[in-house]
Amino acid sequence: MSRIVNPVLPGFHPDPSILRAGDWYYLANSTFEWYPGVELHRSRDLARWESLPSPLAEKRLLDMEGERSSCGVWAPCLSYGGGLFWLVYTNVRTWNAGPWKDCSNYLTWAPSIEGPWADPVYLGSSGFDPSLFHDDDGSLWLLNMEWDYRQREDPEGAQFSGILLRRYSPEERKCTGPVKKIFTGSPISCVEGPHLYKREGWYYLLTAEGGTVYGHAATVARSRSIEGPYEVHPHNPLISSRGRPEHPLQKAGHGSWCESPGGRTYLAYLCGRPLPGTRYCVLGRETAIAELVWHDGWPYVKGEDGGRQNYPALRFDSPGPPEESSPPPKAPAEEGGQGAEAPGDMKAAPGEGRRVYTFTGKALHGDFKTLRSPADPLRYSLTARPGYLRLRGGQSPVSPYGQTLLARRQEHFSFNAETCLECNPASFQELAGLCWRYDERNHYLLALTWDENRGRVLSILSMRAGHFSREDGPAVPEGPVYLGLEVREHRGIFRYSGDGRTFSDTGPALDSGILSDEYDSLGFTGAFVGIFCIDTSRYEAEADFAYLSYEPVETSR
């Protein structure tokens, strides 16, 4: 039997929605401004997860161009009913502009988890974190939290004014009937992230509360009627890290649950792991699993000793795969589709140490993310120079429009990253290289660029809470340049080489902590490492990259 070791999806994997359909468990996570907005994984034992193509990987399904950092897709909900997979999600346009939030909710569906997914149906914008509940009489119900902009000066959490319920008609493709506010939350406050379940005649409402920070929690309430009133769990919260500052998994909250074929209940929830000795969660909000046990009609987290608790368990036995299971459906990733891992694309699978992403396949590897829009072949070309990825210069690293940047999430406190770059910048406005970033206000770039007096040079460009600085580096001769990043928990340093064997450090030590939700103003993502090309003059400069490697490093801690 497999062991579940938390987090099961390390690095930036927030807002998990878990579903079991047939022999498979599925997880949906939001990616905010990082395209493709929603990521899917599947597993047969809840311990080992494999990536699936995103349901929103086309611009007709999701367009986030121009959205600010930590906007984009929030908290998707994946469900199954009537022979269809359903996905409901929010595309947040603004969230931190005075008292306002512009958060449009959409629904799409498909006959298979691989698609094809229908054009999204607009559901309304009264609040965010929508979910779809399938009642046992076949009716469909939309839930979302309500945002009350008027309560700006009221006590903390008052803008989170409650959970709304409305019937959805699949025939009319719209919500129908009256809107009912069914729950206003517990004293923890900031009620959001609703999911509804039915068990033994009770409707169970699972919500997130406490804000997605260190006081985060998941709350459970129940009612005999779908419209309430709902009574709160007598030992609420269901799960939280509140009051346990030494626990490795902090921020536990926002989640959803499902049942195994054997009737056991499992909760997927988000958590964060701070850098040792700090409150900075540079890996972002991650996905963890807990088994729930039922007592007197209420769920509890099952502890590693088998007892009941309301805080995360680090490891426990998985339910294992069903004894007899159908073969897995063939995913488009195996056929070279969007986000596919084409042959030769990576020399080591995730979890097997150093990962070398090459560019010999027909599509970019699914680990890679772009900002706000899918990778346009005119700006991300795998064919212009076979064996290389050619990037065409985009807008500056602070722009919410048209950046040319390809990155993967940081999953470990300590790691090495490396790339090989060929380009010939002709101006200081042309730059290409290696990035380590959180968002437009907080990032580090090691850039190959041009200086009128020194020729090709390396420069370190940094943004810290929106304040720019530049550190001039060495001049480099013509030919390929190898760029590296060495991160050891709290600090990172850029490196370079002319031959790919002997590297030299360049620039000062870089503070990891700025690449976290807790630094600067509140955000919701995590640290990424990747490659970029900038041309603020004509958007025409080109840079060729031979590979990108990512290698986790064990520390003595």
- Residues 164 and 181: their CA atoms lie apart, in Å, by 4
Backbone φ and ψ for 16, nearest 5 degrees, come out as -70, 135
Q: Are 364 and 382 in contact (CB under 8 A)?
A: yes
Could you count the other beta carbons within 10 Å of the beta carbon of residue 38? 23
- Residues 447 and 460: their CA atoms lie apart, in Å, by 6
Q: Which residues contact 489 (CB under 8 A, 6 or more apart)?
A: 275, 276, 413, 414, 512, 555, 557
In angstroms, how far apart are the furthest CA atoms of the chain?
77
Question: What positions carry a catalytic annotation?
Answer: 15, 192
- Residues 222 and 423: their CA atoms lie apart, in Å, by 61
Q: Which residues contact 292 (CB under 8 A, 6 or more apart)?
A: 238, 257, 265, 266, 267, 299, 300, 301, 302
Q: Are 307 and 293 in contact (CB under 8 A)?
A: no
- Residues 131 and 255: their CA atoms lie apart, in Å, by 12
Q: Following DSSP, what letter does each residue of 420-454 receive, concatenated?
A: EEE----STTEEEEEEEEEETTEEEEEEEEEETTT
Question: What single DSSP character describes residue 359?
Answer: B
Q: Which long-range contacts (CB under 8 A, 24 or more apart) does 298-305 make?
A: 298/220, 298/222, 298/233, 298/234, 298/235, 299/204, 299/220, 299/233, 299/238, 299/257, 299/265, 299/267, 300/235, 300/238, 301/238, 301/239, 301/267
Helix (H, G, I), strand (E, B) or coil at 361: coil
- Residues 501 and 357: their CA atoms lie apart, in Å, by 18
Q: Which residues contact 199 (CB under 8 A, 6 or more apart)?
A: none
Return the structure tokens found at 223. Answer: 């009612």
Q: Which residues of 524-547 are buried (b: 16+ CB within 10 A; e: fewer)?
A: bbbbbbbbbbbbbeeeebbbbbbb
